[in-house]
Structure 1
């Protein structure tokens, strides 16, 4: 199952330490914004008297990866869904496909890329907790093996049934996610989507493709377009760097 995060909304005090730690760990510029952007990968909002985190849910079968034509997104065996900006062609299919509406685009740059939580993939690979979990002093964000987190969530719900809704959000939503949440308030009242299917949306992508009898020719044209766009992005980036270099020398 890999690693994951358990977020307990009943324990979050809204201090924002998780958001600040995320900014520092990932070298993201500026202050923590009120909503998710390409530069703010996790936020904390108050709903129904509870503080609720928003971040990438790291789907077990990520739809963003299934629709990406250049494999810029992928699910690692450790759990995180990671993003490779060097491969990205800027099509933004991931933004449209994500059932949780998480990936955001850098609209303010000449060569923009997508920004989203990568669940501190480097730290996780090295056996360390995510920066947000390490920064949380109240047990609101817990890092660990997904099966252990499921057991912990069920234990908390069983021991204090009056304090929790009898549901682990992320256990089945969109095919299951590596980030899970428990709460004393129904999740739809916390601004989270409650009508997501249990089957991974990514499976429908492959079902559609498998029913197309012959798309080899179209695929070849598409790949050529991808190559052209990627080359164009690299050329723009080099031109921007060259211009910046001349300005620095002047």
Structure 2
């Protein structure tokens, strides 16, 4: 019996299956949000697609402008976040697209940027702690000095947020860091600071959650006050009417919660946000890894499989020698 790649893999998978069968008991629970966590509330019904937030984000982060062409006119550029664009507004449209915030024959806007997960996969996957979650404000930040360019964070993020600067001689990982460099000077996220309608609102996540549920409880068309800028700051609120909200605060429970929560009148799966479980991917993957490597369990399985295969090979070779030598004088 020869050691083939197929036999080796079959043995390894079988041994690994025995170990992973018990990983549920080893898996850790979701991490919890810091009490003083900061974040954003994005209300799609208030967004008018002006993209002031996109321009402000580039300005305060010293990011270059995106190219404009006949194929991608001014409003449509850029089409996605990238190594030079941390925040964009995407548009949903259906049929005639002449009714705002309607699923049929309507259109709606959705903000895409880092959601600052409570239990972030990017932080869990990073082998050198280049991706860091602040223990006080919860902002998921990036340390370029620690980064080794492995791009595990890019592959791990379920929202496709961290981007690698492939066009740079000395590339880095690029993503929204909630304008943390502006906090010591008394400023806050530029996207919320410049939003004219309050579609993007900054503040403590607990307060933003209360505001989100207040809006969900309103009847469509009911008059209400919408704050702008940041909660707890200057009162720049204005009077408006409540939208026909989908009864969901996206980001409140998904993958253990995020610090950017969202409201919309169009179903979130139409706006690029697929349904996700409440269990964070990081808690599951870390549980599997810790179980497999606890007491060198996985290496022991591989060594055991190799030992069994080697023993069988040796036995068959001895049998072949004995049979070939029978009857000889």
With normalisation by structure 1, the TM-score equals 0.82
Equivalence for 2:115: 57
Structure 2 unaligned regions, length at least 5 = 1-34, 67-76, 94-106, 221-242, 300-329
> Matched residues in 2 for 1:175 and 1:28: separation?
31
- Residue 234 (structure 2) pairs with residue 199 (structure 1): no
Structure 1 unaligned regions, length at least 5 = 219-250
Structure 1 runs of 4+ off > 3 angstroms? 124-127
RMSD (Å) for aligned C-alpha atoms: 1.7
- Residue 46 (structure 2) pairs with residue 11 (structure 1): yes
> Matched residues in 1 for 2:219 and 2:120: separation?
33
Please show how residues 147-158 of structure 1 align to structure 2 within 5 Å.
Answer: 147-158=206-217
Task: Label 1:42 to 1:215 Cα distance change in 2 as closer, same or farther (>3 A).
Answer: farther
Q: Higher helix fraction: Structure 1 or Structure 2?
A: 1
Deviations 1:75-112 (A, max 9, x none): 11213100011111111100110011111111112221
- Residue 140 (structure 2) pairs with residue 74 (structure 1): no
Query: Which of these residues, 82, 92, 102, is aligned with residue 161 of structure 2?
Result: 102
Task: Label 1:202 to 1:125 Cα distance change in 2 as closer, same or farther (>3 A).
Answer: farther
* Largest Rg, 1 or 2: 2
Residue 122 of structure 1 deviates from its aligned partner by: 2.1
> Matched residues in 2 for 1:9 and 1:173: separation?
18
> Matched residues in 2 for 1:110 and 1:213: separation?
40
Equivalence for 2:266: 185
Equivalence for 1:240: none
- Residue 290 (structure 2) pairs with residue 210 (structure 1): yes
With normalisation by structure 2, the TM-score equals 0.63
Residue 206 of structure 1 deviates from its aligned partner by: 1.8
Task: Label 1:90 to 1:13 Cα distance change in 2 as closer, same or farther (>3 A).
Answer: same
Equivalence for 1:41: 86
Deviations 1:14-38 (A, max 9, x none): 0010011100111111236221101
Contact 1:6–1:142 at 8 Å: present in 2 too?
yes
